[in-house]
Amino acid sequence: MDGSVRKVVTVRSALVLVNTLEEQVEVRLEKPAVRYEAHSLKIDSGSSLAVPLSYVSADIWVRPIGFWSVGFCNKPIHWRHLLRPGESSDGIRSCTPDGGDVGIYRFCVSVKRENYPASMGKHVQPGHRITFLPPVVLVNLLPYDIEYYLKATEITGKVKAGKQAALFAADVSQDLELGVRIESFARCKELLIAAGSTHYVVRMHLYDSADRRMLLHVRIASRRGGALKVSILAPYWLVNKAGLPLVFKQENVHKEAAGQFEEHEFARSVAPLLFSFASSEAPSMCTMRIGRRQHSDGYLPNWCQPFPLEAGVGVRQLHVKSTNYGQPNWVYNIGIDVRAGRGRYRDTNIVTFAPRYQLDNRSRHKLQFAQRCTLYVQSSVSQLSALPNSSLPFHWPRLDMDPLLCVRSCNIAGCLWSGGFRIDRLESLHVNMRDEQRKSHFLRVEIVIQGPTFFVVFTDASSMPPPFRIDNYSEVAIQFWQTKVDDRLRSWVSQQTSVPYAFDEPTLPPYLTCAVSGGTSATYSMNSFGEGELLCYENLFYIAVSETFTAETGRPSTDHTLAMQLVLDVPQGIAVILACKQSGKRSQLWRMTGGGMLVHEGSSEPRDPRKLTDQSKAGLVLDIDAIAPQPDRYVQLILKKHDERRQRTQTWHFTEDGRLCCPQLPSLYVQVRSGCLRRGADVLLGPVPLVPPVVPHTCRLNSRGIPVEQGISRQKLRPGSGALSVKILADGPTRVLQITDRNQKRAASQPTCDWILVDEHKLLEQDSPTTDGSAPYQPRQDLQVHVLLKHGVAVSLINQFCEELCFISLGDIMCEYTANVKAETLNCSIRDIQVDNQLLGTQVPVMLHMTAAPRTDVHRSLPALSVIVRRVPSQERVNADIYEYLIVDLRPMSLKLDERLLWKLFQFFGMYQSDAELIRMEESDYDAQRALTAATSIANKRYYFGMMRLDIRQLKLSVFTSGKLAPDLRAIKHLTGVPLIRFEDADIELDPFERGHQFETSQFLLDAVVKHYTEELKSQAANILGSVDFLGNPLGLFNDITEGISGLISEGKVGGLFKNVAHGVSNSTAKFTGSLSDTLGKVSMDDQHQALRENIRSHSGTSGEHLTAGLMGLGVGVFGGLTSVITQPIQGASRDGFEGLFTGLGKGIVGMVTKPAVGLLDMASGAAHAVSRTSRSTSKYSYQRVRPPRSCVGPGSLLQCYSAGQAEDQQFLYSLNNNVYSERLIAYEQIHSQRKTHCIISSEKIYFLRGNRQNKDIVLVVHLSELQRCQHLAVRAHNGETTNYIVLTKKA
């Protein structure tokens, strides 16, 4: 259609010329009837052109134009002898030069009859494609430019790496001797290419200047027109990405591999090294060593352990031995990644040697790296530096020491080395670096593996939540440190403050020790959530004269005559006097017991605050210096031992009005003589008022109305109750150690509005409004959504060829979604899951279904799939999602893979790349993409899972291979390179994937899941091998016998035992004989015979159908063997002429023996299958499709809605045409209701049937190719009735 939405119909001839030559060609069309009338056309390289309609019968002459000054070809191009669709012929044409130094120009011609009706009679209708091809195309699949020559000719040239050259002067009708030269290989042994060569691979011998041999592979393929394509490739490319000079050789060969010289001892080769196993007597193993010039004299590099050059990943240690006594040896870890090339390089194995570890600095700091054991060795080798946005390979200086890496920042003054951490496993962590003030600075470290290399990526941790946080809600400062680290790494968190933290030593156990000054310490595991051990401290206090302090704050009074901060003190002896307050002085500190005694701390032994003190062992307590108190006398306060008899004077109470007295002596108060508020004054117990007899004085009163000399109060040494509760909890990806006072009223579980903390800050600031003036966060309203789909949903997959692939049925779906301020929760379950294989003629109609469970199974009533996930909100500026848990539970399933459906699904989803797409991806680009993927994964969105569990309990896996695939599916299979073997009902037990506290990118988590289940499948290789068909499925036989014995023991079913044994034996016999017949059938080399066998076996489902298929297979085999010696030579002669006659005769002789043998095996397999179906246990339920395959193409050749009636009509059509699925149903209509006449219109025929609907009584069948006209005719009778007729006119 053009731009104006009009349909454009192009009318051209069916004779098309295609130019695949490198030059533009001129085509001369000469009509045989008119000698001098001719027409010339020009066709560009890579273009095609239809011959004008008036010249389709003209003779065709071709010549190149441009550089080649030659005439037209020596004879015209003929096409009229090809009459049938698919017929082709090849030929070669020569163009002689007009003069000059230009040689003969040759090209090949391929003529093919397209899929047009066969021509009849004298006049041959054009319907051909004529292709011009170069005679020889030389393809360079090496990483070097090559120079080529043909011996005994003047044909020479040069081909760049990855390019190709056309040899137009080569004569493919003669033998050719090809020679090549590449860098470092100046001599070769010419390769003989015989005339008429087809497809084969041969070796070419090249020799370097040291006469060392290297073998190249030359792949020769015949093309259309008799042309040849010669591809030159090396079996192995050795790519050195290790940053070290490496030298290679074959194991047990004395010389190094060819192409290596003295410069390879000094530095690594940038270009790949071509490698081959030149010696057939030595093992096909490779070994390597470090270049001799990498180290100074005194070191000798050793060859490493040999390794195979097979696909996979490996590691080798390269030792450099020291010849000087006392010096350690050097050891290098080199990763080896062997993989097949991509696209047309698939026959070359690319072996990449990379450092085992690659350090990538993506932070804003200049970083230094060192192994822990070499931190204080000043050496350029032991300590490496990396600028921001740079990377470098890393090798352990001392492999005999602990492989722990340390890092520090060069941009932080006095930065200390971090603790050592491992870099040989996949993980992510925060590294704690401290400056000279011991302040923490964090780096985020992500360790990922790509191929054999661990990429250690360092990024700034400013945008990441810390791994740990200490929230101190108490009123005292707390000291904390990682258990068993140096004392210099201890830190403090002030009261009402939060501090982020990362372990100083990541390799030590995850324990934190907390301590309170003057109190206890305790150790907590950061992996154990919940309450921990209490922290306790002595809640000592001063007994102060209130007037000398401000009551609210404890600051000195503004009255300088009294602002002396006087407290009770016992500096020496036992007398209590006034003294100025000194922080922490033990002689001024007191504590009150539960009985009301005031114990003097200075005269007591230090004690554990968590333990109760025995009153009998308490220190000196406050008492009076008298046997008994007198109501009118003043007595000096002193210290005495605890005495039960002096309870009246050793029990004290602080009154509400701010005085100190004995509860049993309410009229006596602790006081100082009036006017004696000074240091050293005696403290007395006496009545009030107290007036000195010598000096009259007016009594002063405080704000509470009591004399200032009697104002006595407590001042705590430390705030708080003295008991701190400690709790470990999770705040998203951060694990929090929360410290609260046990008597604190504030809720310890108060949510924090910002859990990304990069520095110490006050916890009280979290309650303040936003500093940027933005509106505060508005919590969402509660939302509940319930979705119930009792009949479920279904999805039909239809490809671009209007072919239904799968029908996915999900039954009884229930979803419940709840969202509130705290979290979002999704609970979804699917009761039934079934995926039907909707391909016509498939071996397995159901691809995926639930495995039938016995009645005793407690999980029988559970849904097929259940998903439970809970997500908590996170800050909008945080590029992360926080999930408390994700639980996916899948019931035991049965997966039956049909090879045809598998490759069609690959085609549908585009899960493959063509050769052209793969060729554009160079090896250097691949390495860059690999490193980029490892580095940029840090910037991706992250997901935190408190708990992730994927539980796929059991899988019954079956694979059914196809004997013959369509060309496009074969191409996809070839590109993917996935080999398939046939097996059935392999029991795969998979351990669940469980992770806790994961904070990773989606790609990291996906890779972890894929790696886990890949390893699980590898561990089940024995179960798969025991279920393969060519061994007769021995595990299936064992399971059947076990099930029968179990039923006999538990339920006493003797018949069940015999039934299971019969099923197991017959099933194993059927599979073994079927595999043997397939293998033997390929020996006959008759594709038509194999296709007929496949068609017979594909329509056998019941036991009777299997038996019928076996008998038919026997008949086909015997008949094929008897006629093979006649039909095969005839087919070979018609296809390849005289040569094909002898080839067909050989195939016929082989078929005489193999085809009857295959027929016997097919009969045995069919009979065994029939017995197996009959003896199938009732517990083995046979699943059927939910609905028949869709009839995709309607009358207008458009996709139409599903119709169950049309689907049944389609099945009926295939029962009429013996399952020829290329014929499509168009319509099924009733012609006459009374006569019960029906008509089926398909893409190839028209069927007229008589009787009820879908009755196989065929009246007439008309091929559309024979139909010339179809019209409706109405005939009116004499009585006025009208009779309708359908008139079909067939071709003569």
Query: What is 390-431 written as a DSSP string?
Result: EEEEE--S-TTS---EEEEESSSTTPPPPPPB--SSSEEEEE
Distance separating alpha carbons of residues 57 and 1227, to the nearest angstrom: 42
Question: Dihedral angle at the C-alpha atoms of 672, 677, 680, 683, nearest 10 degrees?
Answer: 10
For 552, how many CA atoms within 13 A lie in the half-sphere containing its CB?
1
Q: Which amino acid is at 1165?
A: S
Residue 680 in tokens: 């050293």
From the list 40, 61, 54, 47, the residue with the least C-alpha distance to 16 is 47
Distance separating alpha carbons of residues 642 and 622, to the nearest angstrom: 9
Q: Is 114 exposed, middle or buried (0-12, 13-18, 19+ CB in 10 A)?
A: middle
Distance separating alpha carbons of residues 388 and 428, to the nearest angstrom: 20
DSSP string spanning 1086-1153?
-HHHHHHHHHHHTT--SHHHHHHHHHHHHHHHHHHHHHHHHHHHHHHHHHHHHHHHHHHHHHHHHHHH
DSSP string spanning 83-143?
-STT-EEEEEEEE-BSSTT---EEEEEEEEE-SSPPP-SS-PPP-EEEEEE-SEEEEE-SS
Tell me the torsion sign for CA atoms 929, 935, 939, 941. positive
**Phi, psi dihedrals of residue 216, rounded to the nearest 5°:** -100, 155
- Tell me how many degrees the CA angle 374-380-386 measures, rounded to the nearest 5: 95
Residue 775 in tokens: 């509106």
3-state secondary structure of 846: strand
Distance separating alpha carbons of residues 913 and 906, to the nearest angstrom: 10
Q: How far is CA 799 from CA 637, 666, 837, 839, in A?
A: 102, 101, 13, 11
Q: Give the tens place of pLDDT for each residue, 102-149.
A: 678 999 999 999 887 666 656 788 889 999 999 999 999 999 999 999
Distance separating alpha carbons of residues 556 and 861, to the nearest angstrom: 77
3-state secondary structure of 925: helix
Q: Which amino acid is at 319?
A: H
Distance separating alpha carbons of residues 978 and 964, to the nearest angstrom: 16
Distance separating alpha carbons of residues 196 and 228, to the nearest angstrom: 9
**Phi, psi dihedrals of residue 1167, rounded to the nearest 5°:** -65, -40
With tokens 């001042």, the residue in question is 715
Quick one: the chain helix, strand, coil %, rounded to 5? 20, 35, 45
3-state secondary structure of 33: coil
- Max distance between CA atoms of the chain, in angstroms, equals 162
Instruction: Specify the DSSP class assigned to residue 736.
Output: E
pTM for the whole structure: 0.70
pLDDT for 217: 93
From the list 923, 925, 899, 903, the residue with the least C-alpha distance to 912 is 903
Distance separating alpha carbons of residues 956 and 138, to the nearest angstrom: 49
Residue 1143 in contact with residue 1132, Cβ under 8 Å? yes
pLDDT for 26: 93
Query: Cis omega before residue 689 (within 30°)?
Result: yes
With tokens 């209509």, the residue in question is 1229
Distance separating alpha carbons of residues 756 and 498, to the nearest angstrom: 11
Q: HEC states along 776-829?
A: CCCCCCCEEEEEEECCCEEEEEECCCCCEEEEEEEEEEEEEEEECCCCEEEEEE
DSSP string spanning 627-693?
SS--TT--EEEEEE---GGGHHHH--EE-TTS-EEETTEEEEEEE--TT--STT-B-EEE-S----S
Task: Identify the segments of the chain with pLDDT beneath 50.
Answer: 1, 551-558, 561, 690-698, 746-762, 764-777, 917-929, 931-932, 934-936
- Tell me how many degrees the CA angle 14-16-20 measures, rounded to the nearest 5: 160
For 1188, how many CA atoms within 13 A lie in the half-sphere containing its CB?
13
Q: Which is it for strands 635-640 and 16-19: parallel, antiparallel or unpaired?
A: unpaired
